[in-house]
C-alpha cells in the first residue's frame, strides 16, 4: 500500500462552529420516514433492500443524514458500528460520505475500529477514509487500536499512512497526560506486545515523549517509556524492543527505590550502556531513520539489497 502520510492537523477556535453543527439537524429531516427506514434496514443487515431503496431519490437524499437514539449517526456509521459489511459496501457504492461524522465527531472508520470490525476497517480505508479519524475528536483510530490490542486493525491503519506517533488532542494544561499518552505507551500499559512491536516496526519513536520540544518546554524531564517499562516490571521483550529500535539508554535516571536493581530489565539496560551497539545494529537504525515514515516497511521491501538484509532491517530473523 502506498499513499500520503496523514499528519495531525491543529484545530482552531473557528472549528467550534463545526462541532456545534454536528449536534443539529435540518428541521425538514427531523421526522423523515425514509431516513428511519434506511436506519432500520441497515440494522437488519438487509443489503438487497438497501440497494433497491437507494436507487430512489427520496431515500438517497438521506444517505448522509444522522438519525437514531444514543449517538445519532449516518447509515454508514451504523453499518460500521455493527459490522454489517454488505450494507457498508452498498452505501459506499451509492456515494455515502466515507468520513461523515456523528455527534461525537467520530468517523465510520473510528467506529469500526472501536467495535473491532476488521473487514469494515479494510473496506473503509480502501474507499479513502482518513486513517487518522477526525480532527474534531480527541482520540484517534491508532490510539484506540493500540489500547485494545487490535494488532490486525492497527496494521491496516499504519499501512494506509496513519500517524504512528499520534497523541491524544488535549489542552496545554494537561501536559502531564500528554507525556504519558501515545500508542506506544498505551500498548505497553495494557500489555499488547504485538501492537508494541508493530508500532516500532512502522517507525514509532521509542523516545517520543522526550523529543517533542513543545512538550519539553512544559515538562523539562518527562518519564521515558523505557523508564516506565522498568519501573512497572514490563516483560523483558518490551525493554529489548525499545533498545533494538534505538531508545536512548542514557535517558532513564533509574531511581533504585522504584526499580528492582536485580531485575533482568535493569541488567539489560546497564549492559547496553557499557557495550556499544554493533556496526550492523547502528547501520540498521541509520537506514530506518532515513526512511522514517509510516510507509518505511513498504519502502524497505523496495530496496535493491539481498533478502537477508531486507529481513534484518525489518527485525525478522
Q: How far apart are CA 45 and CA 100, in angstroms?
A: 20
Summarised one tens digit per residue, pLDDT across range 66-114 is 887 667 889 999 999 999 999 999 999 999 999 999 888 999 999 999 9
Number of neighbours of residue 142 by Cβ within 10 angstroms: 29
Residue 89 lies in a domain: yes
Summarised one tens digit per residue, pLDDT across range 6-41 is 544 555 544 545 554 554 554 444 557 899 999 999
CB 131 within 8 Å of CB 99: no
Residue 14 lies in a domain: yes
Residue 94 lies in a domain: yes
Sign of CA dihedral 57, 63, 65, 71: positive
Residue 130 lies in a domain: yes
Residue 42 lies in a domain: yes
Domains of the chain: total? 1
Residue 107 lies in a domain: yes
Q: Domain containing 36 — which CATH number?
A: 1.25.40.20
- Domain containing 120 equals 1-137
Summarised one tens digit per residue, pLDDT across range 158-194 is 999 999 988 877 655 444 555 567 899 999 999 999 9
CB 60 within 8 Å of CB 54: yes
Residue 52 lies in a domain: yes
Q: How far apart are CA 43 and CA 47, in angstroms?
A: 10
Question: Rounded to the nearest 5°, which phi and psi values hold at 73?
Answer: -150, 175
Specify the residue for cell string 499504519.
158
Please give the grid coordinates belonging to residue 221: 524531564
Please give the grid coordinates belonging to residue 166: 499520534
CB 198 within 8 Å of CB 155: yes
pTM of the model: 0.83
Residue 178 lies in a domain: no
Three-class SS state of 73: strand
Amino acid at each position: 500500500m502506498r499513499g500520503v502520510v496523514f499528519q495531525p492537523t491543529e484545530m482552531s477556535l473557528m472549528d467550534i462552529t463545526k462541532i456545534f453543527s454536528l449536534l443539529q439537524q435540518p428541521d425538514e429531516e427531523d421526522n423523515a420516514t425514509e431516513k428511519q427506514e434506511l436506519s432500520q434496514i441497515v440494522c437488519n443487515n438487509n443489503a438487497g433492500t438497501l440497494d433497491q431503496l437507494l436507487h430512489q431519490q427520496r431515500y438517497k437524499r438521506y444517505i448522509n443524514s444522522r438519525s437514531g437514539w444514543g449517538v445519532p449517526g449516518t447509515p454508514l456509521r451504523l453499518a460500521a458500528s455493527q459490522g454489517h459489511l454488505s450494507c457498508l459496501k452498498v452505501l459506499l457504492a451509492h456515494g455515502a460520505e466515507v468520513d461523515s461524522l456523528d455527534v461525537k465527531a467520530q468517523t465510520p472508520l473510528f467506529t469500526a475500529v472501536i467495535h473491532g470490525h476488521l473487514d469494515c476497517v479494510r473496506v473503509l480505508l480502501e474507499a479513502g477514509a482518513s486513517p487518522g479519524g477526525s480532527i474534531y475528536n480527541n482520540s484517534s483510530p491508532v490510539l484506540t487500536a493500540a489500547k485494545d490490542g487490535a494488532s490486525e486493525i492497527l496494521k491496516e491503519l499504519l499501512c494506509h499512512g496513519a500517524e504512528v506517533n499520534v497523541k491524544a488532542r488535549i489542552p496545554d494544561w494537561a501536559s502531564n497526560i500528554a507525556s504519558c499518552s501515545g500508542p506506544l505507551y498505551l500498548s505497553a500499559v495494557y500489555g499488547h506486545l504485538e501492537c508494541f512491536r508493530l508500532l516500532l516496526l512502522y517507525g514509532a519513536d521509542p523516545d517520543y515523549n522526550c523529543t517533542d520540544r513543545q512538550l519539553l518546554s512544559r515538562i523539562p524531564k518527562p518519564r521515558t517509556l523505557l523508564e516506565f517499562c522498568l519501573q512497572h516490571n514490563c516483560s523483558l521483550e518490551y525493554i529489548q524492543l525499545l533498545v533494538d529500535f534505538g531508545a536512548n539508554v542514557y535517558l532513564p535516571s533509574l531511581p533504585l527505590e522504584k526499580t528492582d536493581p536485580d531485575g533482568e530489565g535493569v541488567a539489560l539496560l546497564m549492559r547496553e550502556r557499557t557495550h556499544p551497539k554493533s556496526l550492523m545494529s547502528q547501520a540498521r537504525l541509520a537506514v530506518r531513520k532515513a526512511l522514517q515514515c509510516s510507509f518505511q516497511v513498504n519502502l524497505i521491501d523496495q530496496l535493491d539489497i539481498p533478502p537477508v538484509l531486507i529481513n534484518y532491517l525489518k527485525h525478522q530473523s
